[in-house]
């Protein structure tokens, strides 16, 4: 496959790259084999003898961007997205989250319906890679994995592990039973989804309050022996932090660390109550953070110290945290991340703390949504580089045939109708699903864009 046109990426945190008239080649395995100027000798060689139909020409007014990565999404909670956000975290879990998860575990037809719609919405929103929390029951998580695989989404699926502090009807019998169930899920996933393996299992202790020490130690050993990713929640809310400290006598970061669950393969959601020394421990262990600004506004008493984490070189990406967050759109998560950081900076100014700004800008947020999330997942996507899988989305700002702007965008001057930092910032602020006209994962074009 050959694609020619304008490409945009944020391979580095504060750097926006706009590649005008570039040619990108993708082989049958979905891997980029060439990326360079469209008028180079190498491009001429690749284009030689090719008919017009063999080259996808990105129209004027459009560009190709890496797909978004969502590092934290509770798939079964999509069932009640947009509801129940009036309660504290632990009450919300009992009243809404556990009940929804239990319901899908008991109704495979409903699970298939919910997860099919979720996959469709993810593609509409440009999410090509997603880290998913599932439910307790293996079969329900296999349904989730099957649907994501069929949809072509790069999905990392976690079967929940929890042996305490849950509903009596939604809990695993013991630490031993929970570890065995997690092992069965990991091995079944590896046997079922082979080549290309865009769907993978994730070891998923829900969070420390619902997992005994024996369970956490067993899951750490399982993840190490099978070399699989790990996900959980860390230092999310005041009530959760206090509950762990009361029960275990130490903070949850210590519990995860002694259980071998802070690794380069680990993504921890939230981390809002971590101080700089604790963030340094995440960096030293290679653990990544899923920053979920919207759900933090509902369930955490403080925002995540994003700038401090980035300055310490902690790997950070963005998460929607449906249904603790009500939006599946990573574009909203980008905007919310910038808003929260600016509010933090405003507080610093009022408190006469002027040493260094803690605000981030839209380019840094775009990096977090693409390459930042990919790094957290240990993937080489999120940028256009030879040897990387081609995961991308096509964005349209205006229609060259009608000269009309697309969606919520408005361009009034002819000079505005160029792919520049100015027009990209407008899209970043105002764009929505109407601007998305194509999407590929591992080189395959996905429905509904085929």
Unique residue bearing structure tokens 């101080």: 275
Mean pLDDT is lowest, of 45-59, 148-162, 179-193, for 45-59
Structure tokens, 181: 């169930």
Residue 69 phi, psi (nearest 5): -115, 125
Q: Is 254 helix (H, G, I), strand (E, B) or coil?
A: helix
Give percent of the chain above pLDDT 70.
99
Q: What pLDDT is attached to residue 46?
A: 95
pLDDT in tens, 406-442: 999 999 887 677 899 999 999 999 999 999 999 999 9
Q: What pLDDT is attached to residue 179?
A: 98
- Evaluate if pTM is beyond 0.75: yes
Across 245-261, average pLDDT: 97
Determine how many CB atoms are found less than 10 A away from the CB of residue 397. Answer: 23
Q: What pLDDT is attached to residue 362?
A: 98
**Does the pLDDT of residue 61 top 70, yes or no?**
yes
Please list, in sequence order, all residues whose beta carbon lies within 8 angstroms of the beta carbon of residue 25, skipping any fewer than 6 positions away.
Answer: 1, 2, 32, 33, 34, 35, 46
Q: What pLDDT is attached to residue 141?
A: 98
pLDDT in tens, 299-319: 998 999 999 999 999 999 999
**What is the band of 354 on the pLDDT scale with cuts at 50, 70, 90?**
low
Q: Which residues of 99-116 are buried (b: 16+ CB within 10 A; e: fewer)?
A: bbbbbbbeeeeebbebbe
Angle between helices 138-151 and 108-124 (to 10 degrees): 30
pLDDT in tens, 8-30: 999 999 999 999 999 999 999 99
Across 292-296, average pLDDT: 97
Using the Cα atoms of residue 328, residue 331, residue 337 and residue 340 in order, give the sign of their dihedral: negative
pLDDT in tens, 216-238: 999 999 999 999 999 999 999 88
State how far the Cα of 67 lies from the Cα of 327, in Å rounded to an integer. Answer: 17
Q: What pLDDT is attached to residue 194?
A: 84
State how far the Cα of 213 lies from the Cα of 407, in Å rounded to an integer. Answer: 51
CB 323 within 8 A of CB 74: yes
Determine how many CB atoms are found less than 10 A away from the CB of residue 437. Answer: 14
Q: What 8-state DSSP symbol labels residue 427?
A: H
């Amino acid at each position: 496959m050959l694609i020619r046109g304008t490409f945009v990426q944020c391979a580095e945190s504060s750097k926006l790259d706009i590649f005008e008239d570039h040619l990108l080649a993708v082989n049958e395995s979905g891997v980029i084999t060439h990326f360079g100027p469209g008028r180079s000798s190498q491009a001429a060689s690749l284009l030689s003898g090719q008919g017009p139909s063999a080259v996808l020409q990105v129209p004027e007014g459009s560009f190709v961007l890496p797909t978004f990565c969502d590092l934290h999404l509770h798939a079964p909670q999509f069932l009640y997205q947009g509801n129940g956000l009036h309660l504290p975290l632990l009450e919300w879990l009992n009243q809404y989250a556990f009940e929804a998860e239990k319901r899908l575990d008991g109704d495979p037809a409903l699970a298939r319906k919910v997860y099919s719609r979720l996959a469709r919405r993810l593609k509409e929103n440009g999410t090509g890679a997603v880290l998913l929390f599932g439910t307790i029951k293996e079969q329900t998580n296999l349904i989730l994995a099957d649907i994501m695989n069929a949809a072509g989404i790069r999905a990392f699926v976690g079967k929940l592990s929890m042996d305490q502090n849950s509903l009596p009807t939604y809990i695993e019998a013991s630490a031993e039973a929970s570890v065995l169930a997690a092992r069965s899920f990991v091995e079944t996933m590896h046997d079922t989804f082979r080549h290309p393996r865009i769907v993978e299992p994730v070891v998923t202790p829900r969070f420390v309050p619902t997992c005994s020490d024996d369970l956490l130690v067993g899951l750490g050993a399982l993840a190490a022996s099978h070399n699989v990713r790990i996900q959980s929640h860390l230092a999310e809310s005041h009530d959760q932090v206090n509950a762990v400290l009361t029960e275990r006598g130490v903070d949850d970061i210590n519990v995860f660390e002694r259980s071998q669950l802070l690794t380069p393969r680990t993504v921890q959601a939230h981390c809002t109550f971590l101080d700089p020394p604790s963030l340094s421990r995440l960096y030293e262990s290679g653990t990544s953070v899923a920053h979920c600004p919207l759900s933090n506004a509902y369930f955490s008493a403080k925002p995540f110290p994003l700038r401090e984490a980035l300055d310490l070189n902690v790997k950070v990406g963005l998460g929607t945290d449906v249904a603790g967050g009500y939006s599946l759109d990573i574009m909203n998560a980008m905007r919310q991340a910038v808003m929260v950081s600016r509010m933090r900076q405003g507080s610093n100014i009022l408190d006469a703390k002027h040493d260094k700004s803690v605000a981030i800008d839209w380019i840094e947020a775009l990096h977090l949504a693409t390459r930042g999330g990919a790094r957290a997942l240990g993937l080489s996507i999120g940028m256009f580089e030879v040897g990387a899988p081609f995961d991308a989305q096509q964005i349209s700002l205006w229609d060259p045939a009608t000269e009309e702007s697309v969606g919520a965008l408005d361009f009034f001057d002819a000079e505005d109708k160029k792919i520049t930092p100015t027009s990209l910032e407008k899209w970043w602020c105002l764009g929505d699903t109407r601007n998305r006209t194509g999407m590929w994962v591992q080189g395959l074009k996905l429905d509904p864009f085929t």
